[in-house]
Structure 1
Amino acid sequence: MGHIKLIKSTQDHEQALARLMLLMDLDSAPDTAENDELDLLAFLIEKYEEEAFPIESPDPIEAIKFRMEQQGLIKKDLVPYFGSASKVTEVLNGTRSLSLKMIRKLSPGLGISADVLIKEPCQKDTISKDVDWDAFPISEMRTRGYFEGFNGSIKELKEYSIEKLNLFLTSVPNGFSLKPALLRTTAHLRSNDKETNSYALWAWQVRILQKAQEELLPAKYVKGTVDANWMKTLAQLSWSDQGPKLAKEFLNRHGIHLIIEAHLPKTYLDGAVCISASGNPVVALTLRYDKLDNFWFSLMHELAHIALHVDGNETWFLDNLDAEGADEIEQEADALAQESLIPSGSSSLPEVKDVDCVQKLASKLHISPCIVAGRIRYERNDHSTFGKAFRDKVRSHF
């Protein structure tokens, strides 16, 4: 270990910084004399600067973000300095400290002084104290891949659950604004209110926004695109065996995300609508029931919200379509969804008595016979109607 002394002057400070840079270039292993000397020098430099320069030097994370903004960089541009995309996110969110290896690359790469980067970051209180962290279904979230890059055991996840959950919730803009305490003001919720786990719902919403964030659409949504005629055109894609996939392509071409994500325990969701950070509508379906007719009605119901209700005031529409006593908004969406699939003026549902009649009406409307059969079962409140016919599945399409 080189000779170390207290830093008392500008010359001492410059010499200490030069020695610090030399030690960082060595990239010494932990528990070596060189690494101990580096730690001690960094401590002495920081103490000297606290007294000699009362105007605080920038927080290292804020300095990195400032340089990113200056140079027009995005997170993936920092991967060469940090080692992986997940490490970039963790450092910028304050859940991972800068390593010496990172500092050695960042200093010349972004032109940030090493003495700025070696400072301890300001501790921002991103861990909200009014969150019941134990209420999240972390085991199910882990199974579904909600925690990107985490390959540890459930025991390890529980040990670091607050850190991992905080990182997950802040992975999308305004992720914390979806927390249950704010739900009443940020969503229109159609629910039976039967033991809904609001924290599982929160996690599902963030997951939807994550997936939308990762999906590049070929167009921006033009307000007013979704209307009754547009929805009828979409419904006719159901005639194809590949109808669900064609529906996704159709929505994407018009600047609408279609995200498929199974519901989490005790959320009882069929679908939802929200607006992504880029301003495009997002339709999310859980496929809670693996039935083709349910897929098409749920899709049309959520699109009806876009046509009728999405006006910038409501952030989310969250729907349990089994819920009884739907309010006026939900009744309007139900009515438009039904009309888009089977127009009232062109149908003869009461006359449909058997399988052949279902096929004929479906052919006339140019829609899937599963939709016709599903409507009849619903209206007659008899799910045994038509036996095993017209019970196509939908999850396999996605």
Structure 2
Amino acid sequence: MAVAETRKAAWTPSWAVHPGEVLEEHLEARGLTQADFARRADMTAKHVSTILSGKAPVTIETARAFERVLGLKATVWARLQDAWDLHLSEQSEQAVASTDAVKEWVAQFPVTELRKRGHLPATAKTAEELYGALLTFFGVASKAAFSKRFDRLAVQYRHSIAHRSDDACLRSWLQLGEIQARNRKVAPYDADTFQVLLSDVKALTLESVESFFPILKNRCAQAGVQLVAVKPLPKTRLSGAAWWISSDQAIIQLSLRHKTNDHFWFSFCHEAGHILLHKRDVIFADDETNGCENTLEKEADLFAEETLVGRDAINALISRPGPLSKNTVCAFSKSIGVHAGIVVGMLQHKKKLPWTHMNDLKERYDWSD
């Protein structure tokens, strides 16, 4: 007959006592006056009085004196003081967390989705609890520290302002990518190694996602680039992002928002262009341009186009008279060694094909559970 073992969760009290209260109990139990104890501990009566009243802390030296006089280990007094200090700190943080400014700050974030993905505890329900949980998620000590950390890097959006992702949701999505990246080691960044990888990327487009993604991720790691895939969050409209997590490590983060291979590969190569071509103190957050595109984004687009099909080759295909047939597109794709779905996507983007045509040539990806 099996016996079920019941495990009790660790109980963490929400209160603490100042060491002075414990000292007072020991003095009463031993019949010692404050003056007698002060003489034995080589302390002034005033100092003992301030400890008893909770106005002065028990230092390590004081704890050692208490041990010698009362026999209670110095480590016990030190733990009592630590617990009291932590209690005061928590009370102070709770007072800050209960302000309207903090409640408004918490309300910006996709709390429900982050909780669903296991990055916020299910027990965090109030604004005060969520405030602490969000600070832990972002790896910062306070709301002010959050601003200092993320305001340090400018965000270069590819969208028009009207279609820009929500800032708090964008920061959350980027943080999910950084958490993934933090759990993997990569080599120091090397531009030459990364360019060699990109020169061979066409062959990978012909493989299934289950086959090519681990290979692509490992090759990126050898070049000092973390490749991560993170499901999009509510109010984010990003296909991908590129930024530097440190001086010798970059991140390419993809959302698989559009779930087709042409978007995946163009987004990857576009972000790779940002890593190779552009400055490191910017987060490049990219999606459709909606008519708003700057020089850096055009450079990244041209880099992706050249990497995947070659500008001269795609322009020659576009310049052919008359409508393009599926056989022509497939033959062209085979001649340059790239998946036909990628060519279809480029032709659609360049308005040589309607968005409704030849989508059956594209591969569809989806998130597995």
Query: What is the TM-score normalised by the length of structure 2?
Result: 0.70
Q: C-alpha offsets along residues 186-242 of structure 1, whole Å, 9 cap, x if unaligned?
A: 22222222364211112222222222112233x222245444x64232233112223
Between the aligned partners of 1:10 and 1:260, the Cα distance in structure 2 is: 67
Q: Which residue of 2 aligns with 1:324?
A: 291
RMSD: 3.8
State the distance in 1 between where 2:78 and 2:127 align.
Answer: 38
**How many angstroms does 1:159 deviate by?**
5.8
Residue 6 and residue 319 in structure 1: after superposition, are their counterparts in 2 closer, same or farther (change >3 A)?
Answer: farther
**Structure 1 residue ranges without an equivalent (≥5):** 15-42, 58-103
Q: 2:229 and 2:109 mapped to 1: Cα distance?
A: 21
1:371 offset after TM fit, Å? 0.8
Distance 1:397 1:330, change over 3 A: farther
Aligned to 2:38: 9
Per-residue deviation, 1:48: 8.3
Report which stretch shifted further, 318-327 or 370-379: 318-327
* Corresponding residue number in structure 1 for 2:3: none
- The answer to whether the Cα contact below 8 Å between 1:175 and 1:206 also exists between their aligned partners in 2 is no
The percentage of counterpart residues that share the same residue type is 18
Rate the CA distance shift 1:115–1:135 in 2: closer, same or farther, 3 A: closer
Q: What is the aligned counterpart of 2:328 among 335, 357, 371? A: 357
* 1:236 pairs with 2:208: no
Amino acid aligned to 2:199:
K
Task: Using the TM superposition, name which of 300-309 and 268-277 deviates more.
Answer: 268-277
Match of 1:222 in 2: 190
Q: How does 1:81-230 map to 2 (within 5 A)?
A: 114=79, 117-121=82-86, 123=89, 132-147=105-120, 150-152=121-123, 156=125, 158=127, 160-170=129-139, 176-179=147-150, 182=151, 186-194=154-162, 196-217=165-186, 219-227=187-195, 230=197
Q: Following TM superposition, by how much is the alpha carbon of 1:261 offset from its aligned partner in structure 2, in angstroms? A: 1.0
Q: Are the aligned partners of 2:340 and 2:362 in contact in 1 as well (CA < 8 Å)?
A: no
Cα distance, 1:326 vs structure 2: 0.5
Given the superposition, is the C-alpha separation of residues 396 and 53 from structure 1 closer, same or farther in structure 2, using an over 3 Å criterion?
Answer: closer
Work out whether residues 166 and 236 of structure 2, in 8 Å CA contact, stay in contact via their aligned partners in 1: yes
1:254-310 CA distance string (max 9 Å, x none): 221111112222221111111124731000011110111100000000000011003
Question: Which residue does the alignment assign to 1:84?
Answer: none
Structure 1 length-normalised TM: 0.65
SS of aligned partner of 1:297: helix
Alpha-carbon contact 1:221-1:280 (below 8 Å) kept:
yes
Residue aligned with 2:275, SS? helix
Matched, 1:276 2:245: yes
Counterpart position of 2:20? none
Q: In 2, Cα distance between the equivalents of 1:224 and 1:13? A: 70
- In structure 1, what is the Cα distance between the partners aligned to 2:126 and 2:198? 44
Q: Is the 2:224–2:248 Cα contact (8 Å) retained in structure 1? A: no
**Partner Cα distance (1:114, 1:211) in 2:** 36
Task: In structure 1, give the amino acid aligned to 2:188.
Answer: K
**CA distance in 2: counterparts of 1:10 and 1:134, whole angstroms:** 56
Are the aligned partners of 1:171 and 1:210 in contact in 2 as well (CA < 8 Å)?
Answer: no
Q: Is 1:394 matched with 2:365?
A: yes
Instruction: Decide whether aligned partners of structure 1 residues 396 and 209 sit closer, same or farther in structure 2, where only a CA change above 3 A counts.
Output: closer
Number of the residue aligned with 1:87: none
Residue range with higher mean Cα deviation, 235-244 or 343-352? 343-352
Bigger Rg, which one: 2
CA distance in 1, matches of 2:62, 2:175: 36
